[in-house]
Amino acid sequence: MMEKMVLFLLTLCCLSCHSDKSNTDNQILLHSILHLNNEYIGNGGAIIAYNEGIVGIEEAGSLAPFFNIDIQEGNHILIHFGNRGQGPEDFIRPYPIQYINEDVFGAYDIISKTYKEITIPKGTVEEAAHIANHITFESQPFQVIKTAYNQYAGLSAREGLITLMDSVGKGHATFFEYPYRDKNEQAIENHLRAMAYQGIFAANPEKTKCVYASLNGEIIHFYDIQKDNISLIRKIENIYPSYKSENNIVVTNVKNIEGYISLSATDQFIYTLYCGKTLEEMRGVNGFSPESTQMRVFDWTGEMVGTYTLDVPCRYISVSNDGKKLWAIALTPDITPVCFDLSNHVKNDIQMPIPGTFNHTNIIEEEESEKAEKPENKINVGEIKVGERKEYILPLQSPPISLTTTSHDVFVKDSTLLNGQRFIYVRISKQHPGVFNDTVMITTESNRGVVIFSGEAI
């Protein structure tokens, strides 16, 4: 009976993990304003969320480079902190900022070529930024994120798209290329293409994946981060920008589409703010500062799993790690921090592997199971290109003792979410074409289940 129960639960997990991702019906989200304590944000920049609030950048013009909004007990307390300058603990132009843990965030300064980890000040008064780590890079990437392996990945301004640096900031390796529409554009020197395809860069909280999206056009790439290596999960390139390169200068066309303007990644999803307007259309609006009400949500396989319309135009977004709150910087009528409630949308609207619990009524009773047809734990992977990857998350009610696969093309990892629910991460990457049926065996303390991944590598 117990084995049949585990098999049935796994079946439920698999069905929830591989449900139809074409369900991207647009949902409207209504904002609530954060009422701050007699303070205001001067030039609000990129933000990141943590359990007790958000941390953000005060863009050029403000004496303090960062702000923190603490929301403990329903109060919205805004403080500014840090120093703008050229000292060892100062910041000139920090961007982007990155979630490190609930008490620390990281900030890259492109001018000083440094990455620093800063303790989030807690309280109601301005505090000095405590620097926990300080790395100076040999090269000067456009943007930098820290990885789970104490290395640093950056958008390269020299060769390739992503440069991987070691723990002390020295160059390590370069991966992939900036986008190009054809062989003629591919022949353009990388530093010029890098200017045309300037983008935004973000990592998930575990720092094991990253995403790049171009500010021009409609281009987004998804990558997996390993120690000493970056591998492609998927890239989506629908619209390329138009530009001219003359005398080491890139001139873009005013009819170019302004693409992805803000990213926020959790360990399950990537939330993107997509503009979709041309520079010509934005002329005279907020000084050409792009804003949008369109939010697209992707999973880490690169599938779009949800779309939302925000009821106010926003410039920057950040989603809480549990996916229940969307924070944003709205630009109209003034620079205003706002919040959207996602708690009623995450499980219902985004058809993806969100770990959950199962009611006991879902379990087949012993006498009924004798009559019932034995359920198949089978996931149809469909077509997968050789060298590319597909990923799945299978939730479980109890931790596994062992995970066994029948193929070297399948990688399985056990992990635990922040809310304590258990899930198994499965990654499939085929090296040779052909039909496949790969099996993952899951053994718990007293039970065993099997999940079959079938498809065709092309």
- CATH code of residue 208: 2.120.10.30
Model confidence at 184, pLDDT cuts 50, 70, 90, reads very high
What is the C-alpha separation between 207 and 81, in angstroms, rounded?
A: 26
What is residue 136's predicted lDDT score, i.e. its pLDDT? 94
Task: Return the SS3 of 310.
Answer: strand
CA 353 to chain centre: 16
Cβ-based burial of 322 (10 A; exposed 0-12, middle 13-18, buried ≥19): middle
**pLDDT at 46 > cutoff 90:** yes
User: Which CATH number is 426's domain given?
Assistant: 2.60.40.10
pTM: 0.71
Residue after which a domain boundary falls, among 349, 365, 385: 349
Model confidence at 382, pLDDT cuts 50, 70, 90, reads confident
In a domain, 185, yes or no: yes
Q: How many structural domains are present in the chain?
A: 2
126-149 mean pLDDT: 86
Residue reference for tokens 């996931």 = 379
In a domain, 438, yes or no: yes
284-296 mean pLDDT: 76
**Domain extent at residue 394:** 2-18+374-457
What is the C-alpha separation between 350 and 429, in angstroms, rounded?
A: 25
